[in-house]
Structure 1
Amino acid sequence: MAQLSKHPASPAPTAPERESTGHLMLRGYIVLTLFATLAHTAVFNLLGSTGAVIAMTLLTAGILAIWIPAIAHQRPARFPWRRLPWVALAYGAFALLSVFWSQWPSATLITWALWVAVTVNALFAATMLTWQELVRALSSALKWILGLSLAIELWVALVLQHPILPNFADVPEGKIDPHIYWVRGNFFNDGRIQGIVGNAHTLSMMCLLALMVFGVLFAARVRRRGALIGWSVVALILLYKAASATSVLCGVAAGVVLVIALLMRSANRPAQRTAVYSGSALVVVAGVAGGFILRDQVLAAFGKDSDMTGRFEIWAKVWERAVAHPIIGNGYSSPWVPWDPGFAGWIVDHKLTVFHAHNMWLDVFFQLGIVGVLLMATAWAALAWRAWFFAVDRPRWDLDAKRPYSPLSLLPTMVVAALLVEGLAESAPILLWGWMLLVMFSFKIKSVPLVGVGLDERSSVLAHGEQARQVP
């Protein structure tokens, strides 16, 4: 006869496993490297060109000192070599090869070294962190940018009560162009603010990126959701004060993609998905056509003139030099090195040498020709394709077709939409933080296509409640 036992066979309950001190330090170091890349202009304005190079060199050396031994101690099958973003890496290899025909070889080598540092940073973060940890690291880095931007703007406006120049240089006598200032002190007037990054558009893009990151973390029900609301309010205030029309359009694009992705998630049958695709295509085409027809009114609403703040003139000058070498370009330099003879005084705006073409595709064509454009387009198309299905396909690795979606999987596709729209008026998607996000998300989605599942995801760190088993 069966009897109830007072000695159950199951183990006694234990406290959840805590992260080791070493892993916490690793996450902190990655947050530092992400901050240095996202806010590279802040490092430049604080330390100067030499200091910024030294800082990036030391951070990259630290990454390699951590990463190489970690890879060496792993089984060969653990590191996903085949999942590397090979097209993006091929673009970098072709950029280095261009030194043989570059019209500015020293600028090519300098900026290619910066490309290597940013690429290593992106691959390292994608390898060492899970999806949730990666998004949280981005959140922490963006909080530092927002917090320091708010602090320096208030300090300049309330304490100093006068603008400051990069490297805290002495302000010369007489009137100088406001674009030369690091921070202008416009927080309490009608002027645009620039924040710690020293550029209104870059600050607004950091705010937009922060809103997307905070939003998916809030939807994932992470801890301290109230703090995320507070930081979102700070991001909205800084976004409003930065007043970048391009960032507003990027936000609209990201919002449209988010709505379409949520509609796709709610569709239960193929016919419903087809209807969503068809309706979304009509709405997007109508919106683009309406924006083109009413472009003058739209630009006027954002305070822009018909030539998009001088961009048409910049594009004409870049195109004139680009078509002279249409196949392999004039030589890699992202950004353009302003003191190199090939760029110094070529295109000047507000008494400053312009350091990019204000259009990513024209910039790539100018530097690396049609070959570079094809490589760049393939890299972005591959990421856009994978990011979209990463967001809309239900996570499956067995017969269970009812697992919940992860809110974190929406982030890459929103970021891609925002950056591709930004690339029409800026070159940021091929520079520094834009390139970092391309490489990081490309590698992470390819190596870990399911949030919280797989050899590289610790099952104790999930974006949703279900405890998923790891699968090879």
Structure 2
Amino acid sequence: MTPRPASLLAGWAIALLAAGDAVRYTVGYAGWAVLCGLTLVAAVVVLVRARARLRATPVALAMLLALMLLSAIWAVAPLATLLGATLQVATAIAGVLLAQLDLERLLRLAHAVLQGILVVSIVFELAVALLVGGRLYPLVPMPGVESYGPDSPAAFAWSRGLLLEGGRIQGIVGNANLLAMLALLALVLAGCLAASRRLRAWPAWVALPLVTLALTRSATVLAALGVVAVVAALVVAWRRLPMRAFRWTLVAVGALAVAAVASVLVLRDVLLGLVGRDGDLTGRTDIWAAVVAEWLRSPVVGTGWVGYWPPFAAPYDDLAVHDGVVYLQAHSVVLDVLMQIGVVGLLAWLALQATTLVGAVRWLRDASAGDAGLRAAPLLVLVALLAQGLAESRPLIELGFALLVAFAWLLPARSRSRAVAA
């Protein structure tokens, strides 16, 4: 397959992974499954033609995927685990597809797709506010929901139509936190491309994610933005300061981080009030307690990998209920991995994260002055996903996992061999 069709397929895969909820809300889970299946077949064809080497699979990634598949043997819900593990492998294949592009092309493509989603999301919210004047529910109900009506919970709404009222927007992905995370990734990529002079009209592409972050007001993502900003400042210091001065900078940042954590603990209720959250973090504390209790039933190997919890299988169908809404994630990457594949799985997950981060740092270390901004992008994207994972499980699936796989596949090899093509 020629580079252009391969790039188009990769762009489509990024869009499907980033805005899967929009597809499911429009054509339902059955239509989404068909699109995913067709995309997977096309990806396999591309990988076969490109002669992608399976032996190049990172060891930690292979161990993680193998454990997810094997967990169906001891799972509490074997069929759901087979489905979840299969979806995870399919997402990994999408990540390998992305890794067939050189890193600069991948970063440019991801930036273009994410910015496009932000543009469509704001237009969508404006249309809902003007034409509907209230909540808009998915065109096809979610599994377990027969239909939507005026009394349906707001949590089920695709959009609440609050753009012109100053309320939080949810965009085409139907979730303010998810839209905010896509905006953060777009901001990171726009900033890095602009810093390396590879982005025209960069003020507009930096402003759009910032506006989206302001409109979504996600506490989780705003905290992740702060973490990314600190790491970006450290990257600049690492590139420009003598090593001795950089070490003292690290000490100072560490002290400030400790002070910041202490301040958050002391002023917790005040800070939560500023971002419109209650003291139990929108039910997260109860969810975490339920997940920990479930994990303790099988702490070593977990209850079986299902990814996002299936609403049709016990115990996930009523494990986390808050204000009458069943939540389908632990709201923590660590807790979800622990519950589903135990301590063994968490060690494999951490190994994959660590080796990929090391590859990102090595790739950045070898950068020339003009490429430093571009080469910081994978590191900052990984940091953003890690920060999001403290209070959300989304990085475990779809775009977050695909990007992790792509970077894990590309970065170690690239750091030992040639630089990314300009």
Q: TM-score, normalised by structure 2?
A: 0.93
Q: Is the 8 A contact 1:83 1:446 kept in 2?
A: no
Distance 1:191 1:320 in 2: 36
Match of 2:180 in 1: 204
Question: Does residue 163 of structure 1 match 2:129?
Answer: no
Residue of structure 1 aligned with 2:119, choices 147, 153, 156 = 147
Q: Report the 3-state secondary structure (helix = DSSP H, G, I; strand = E; otherwise coil) of the residue aligned with 2:351.
A: helix
Corresponding letter in the other structure for 2:306: S
Corresponding letter in the other structure for 1:334: G
1:364 Cα offset (Å): 0.8
Corresponding letter in the other structure for 2:384: A
Q: Report the 3-state secondary structure (helix = DSSP H, G, I; strand = E; otherwise coil) of the residue aligned with 2:139.
A: helix
- Map Cα deviations across residues 174-230 of structure 1 (whole Å, 9 max, x no partner): 42211111111111113211101011100000011111111111112125x21x322
Q: Is the 8 A contact 1:201 1:242 kept in 2?
A: yes
Distance 1:232 1:272 in 2: 31
| Higher radius of gyration, 1 or 2 | 1
Question: Does residue 42 of structure 1 match 2:1?
Answer: no
Unaligned stretches of 5+ in structure 1? 1-20, 72-78, 396-401, 463-472
Q: Report the 3-state secondary structure (helix = DSSP H, G, I; strand = E; otherwise coil) of the residue aligned with 1:52.
A: helix
Distance 1:229 1:24 in 2: 28
1:81 Cα offset (Å): 5.3
Residue of structure 2 aligned with 1:183, choices 159, 166, 171 = 159
Corresponding letter in the other structure for 2:171: G
Match of 2:263 in 1: 290
Distance 2:265 2:8 in 1: 45
Identity of aligned residues (%): 29
Residue of structure 1 aligned with 2:67, choices 94, 103, 110 = 94
1:168 Cα offset (Å): 5.5
- Map Cα deviations across residues 123-146 of structure 1 (whole Å, 9 max, x no partner): 11112x112101111012102211
- Map Cα deviations across residues 392-414 of structure 1 (whole Å, 9 max, x no partner): x243xxxxxx7654311111221
Unaligned stretches of 5+ in structure 2? none
Residue of structure 1 aligned with 2:90, choices 109, 112, 117 = 117
Q: Is the 8 A contact 1:347 1:353 kept in 2?
A: yes
Question: Does residue 271 of structure 1 match 2:247?
Answer: no
In 2 relative to 1, CA 40–260 (structure 1 residues): closer, same or farther, beyond 3 Å?
Answer: same
RMSD: 2.1
Match of 2:215 in 1: 241
Corresponding letter in the other structure for 1:163: R
Distance 2:224 2:369 in 1: 31
In 2 relative to 1, CA 273–237 (structure 1 residues): closer, same or farther, beyond 3 Å?
Answer: closer
Q: TM-score, normalised by structure 1?
A: 0.84
1:172 Cα offset (Å): 4.8
1:45 Cα offset (Å): 1.2
Match of 1:406 in 2: 372
Residue of structure 2 aligned with 1:252, choices 214, 226, 249 = 226
1:362 Cα offset (Å): 0.8
- Map Cα deviations across residues 90-126 of structure 1 (whole Å, 9 max, x no partner): 1111011010110111111111121112111111111
Question: Does residue 447 of structure 1 match 2:413?
Answer: yes
Q: Report the 3-state secondary structure (helix = DSSP H, G, I; strand = E; otherwise coil) of the residue aligned with 2:312.
A: coil
Distance 1:405 1:293 in 2: 42
Distance 1:325 1:386 in 2: 33
Match of 1:222 in 2: 198
More helix by share: 2
Distance 1:168 1:321 in 2: 32
1:153 Cα offset (Å): 0.8
Residue of structure 1 aligned with 2:286, choices 296, 313, 316 = 313
169-178 vs 28-37, greater mean Cα deviation:
169-178
Q: Report the 3-state secondary structure (helix = DSSP H, G, I; strand = E; otherwise coil) of the residue aligned with 1:303.
A: coil
1:42 Cα offset (Å): 1.4
Q: Is the 8 A contact 1:394 1:405 kept in 2?
A: no
Q: Is the 8 A contact 2:332 2:389 kept in 1?
A: yes
1:350 Cα offset (Å): 4.2
